Amino acid sequence: MNVEFPQSKLMSTLPKQFFASLVAKVNAKVATGADVINLGQGNPDQPTPAYIVQSTQKWVADPATHKYSQFRGQPAFKQAAADFYQEVYGAAFDPEKEVAILGGSKIGLVELPWALMNPGDLFLLPDPGYPDYLSGAALGQVEYATVPLKAENNFLPDLAAIPAATARRAKFFYVNYPNNPTGAVATREFYEELVAWAKQYEVGIISDFAYGALGYDGNRPISFMEIPGAKEVGIEFYTYSKTFNMAGWRIAFAVGNADIIEALNLIQDHLFVSLFPALQYAAIDALQDPARDGAIQALVDRYQTRRDAFLTAAAKIGWHGFAPQGTFYAWMPTPPKMTSEEFADVLLDQAAVAVAPGKGFGDYGEGYVRIGLLIEPARLVEAVERIGKLHLFE
């Protein structure tokens, strides 16, 4: 007789992975032999820049990198992260007290409630937003309230609409600009208002800056840490996944408030022994090599070309959405009287085009689908042409 090992009660509280069902549907369609154009993914399609690959090969070959890392990361990497923020955003950080090294920003975002909140505490999450924020709430056994992101407010939170009682109770507020899934960007005025609001209600601000390098029309996205007083109320996560096409490498860091950074470092003392040292040294080179800015600009230009091609093609079939100012997504409305899941199913079944239903990002994502601009322009245009033949926007 096999002994049964039931999962913990805590595991049963984890949110269901909405996009697992999307992947299963896409795979089933592909299995029929259909030429599926997958616009539902969020995985960068371009390779990591050659200068980073070459640096990694050099450091991996160095036996000195084969030992344990220091628990809180190599000091040189923390210094490089601080130098990068000083250079690009004009924000100064103490590398030992105000920088945390992470195995991808998802780790930091999910572990933060464990490290800084108690069961029953409240934090605020954007709706629509990155689904894994909810995992942090479940694992930390904390409560959350959602803050709507609406088109009429350019998908920025209306801070004045947050009830005072909710604001007073909240410990943290997650914000994410450039925004996944909408492609919206934050304004300096909004961030200034957010700092003042955070100080008024004593709420910590957690800025998820995953798409920080990806801004369009010549505009560099604003870092929350550029704003005077930001470090007093919060931190910011910066990942290599999007800036350097290093999603699978799992490298990120956080900068900001020393108390929050210490809590992240402390919980990681017990969970990890930081990152493979060779990756940390390659991460330094990624930030400091003269090839950096050219590689990033080439990537931004590629995504903007795709964005423009997609939006132009969509307009021709009467499909008009929110023009993203950052990220590599487009946030497009569903046809009248059709939910996001219904629309996604129709596109997959009848046009062999996969999109991500907005409902998967929260209640306020209903009525939209997320388009990943992660294939070349010709295929984006082909996808729109297939959708146009369904005559859903006439």
Residue 220: the pLDDT is: 95
Residues 243, 326, single domain; the answer is: no
Domain final position from 237, 260, 288: 288
Instruction: Tell me the mean pLDDT in the region 178-206.
Output: 98
What mean pLDDT do residues 58-70 have? 97
Count how many domains the chain has: 2
Residue 54 domain-assigned? Answer: no
Residue 168: count of CB within 10 angstroms of its CB: 12
| Res 179 pLDDT > 90 | yes
218: how many CB neighbours lie within 10 A of its CB? 7
Specify the CATH number for the domain of residue 182.
3.40.640.10
Asked whether residue 344 falls in the same domain as residue 312, the answer is yes
Instruction: Provide the residue range defining the domain that includes 238.
Output: 67-288
Is the Cα dihedral 76, 80, 81, 86 positive or negative? positive
User: Is the domain of 307 the same as that of 284?
Assistant: no
**Per mean pLDDT, which range of 13-22, 119-128, 275-284 is the poorest?**
13-22
Same domain, 311 and 281: no
Residue 1 belongs to some domain of the structure? no
Residue 120 near residue 130 (C-beta atoms within 8 A): no
148 within domain boundaries: yes
- Where does the pLDDT of residue 393 fall: very low under 50, low under 70, confident under 90, or very high at 90 and above? very high
Residues 235 and 311 in one domain: no
**14 and 42 share a domain?**
yes
Per the domain annotation, does 251 fall within a domain? yes
pLDDT value at residue 328: 97
Q: Is the pLDDT of residue 73 over 90?
A: yes
Q: Residue 165's pLDDT is what?
A: 98
The set of residues, in sequence order, having a beta carbon less than 8 Å from that of 215 and lying 6+ positions away, is: 178, 185, 221, 300, 325, 326
Secondary structure (H, E, C), the chain = CCCCCCCCHHHHCCCCCHHHHHHHHHHHHHHCCCCCEECCCCCCCCCCCHHHHHHHHHHHCCHHHHCCCCCCCCHHHHHHHHHHHHHHHCCCCCCCCCEEEECCHHHHHHHHHHHHCCCCCEEEEEECCCCCHHHHHHHHCCEEEEEEECHHHCCCECHHHCCHHHHHHEEEEEECCCCCCCCCCCCHHHHHHHHHHHHHHCCEEEEECCCCCCECCCCCCCCHHHCCCHHHHEEEEEEHHHHCCCHHHCCEEEEECHHHHHHHHHHHHHHCCCCCHHHHHHHHHHHHCCCHHHHHHHHHHHHHHHHHHHHHHHHHCCCCCECCCECCEEEEECCCCCCHHHHHHHHHHHHCEECEEHHHHCHHHCCEEEEECCCCHHHHHHHHHHHHCCCCCC
* Residue 309 and residue 282 share a domain: no
**pLDDT score, position 22:** 85
pLDDT at position 18 over 80: no
At position 257, the amino acid (one-letter code) is N
Give mean pLDDT, residues 131-153: 96
Examine the domain organization and report whether 222 and 175 are in the same domain.
yes
Burial of 67 (C-beta count, 10 Å sphere; 0-12/13-18/19+): exposed
For the chain, percent of residues with pLDDT exceeding 90: 96
Asked if the model's pLDDT at residue 40 lies above 90, the reply is yes
Q: For a pLDDT cut of 70, what percent of the chain falls above it?
A: 100
Residue 382 has pLDDT above 80, yes or no: yes
Among candidate residues 253, 268, 288, the one where a domain is terminated? 288
pLDDT at 290: 97
Q: Are residues 193 and 213 in the same domain?
A: yes
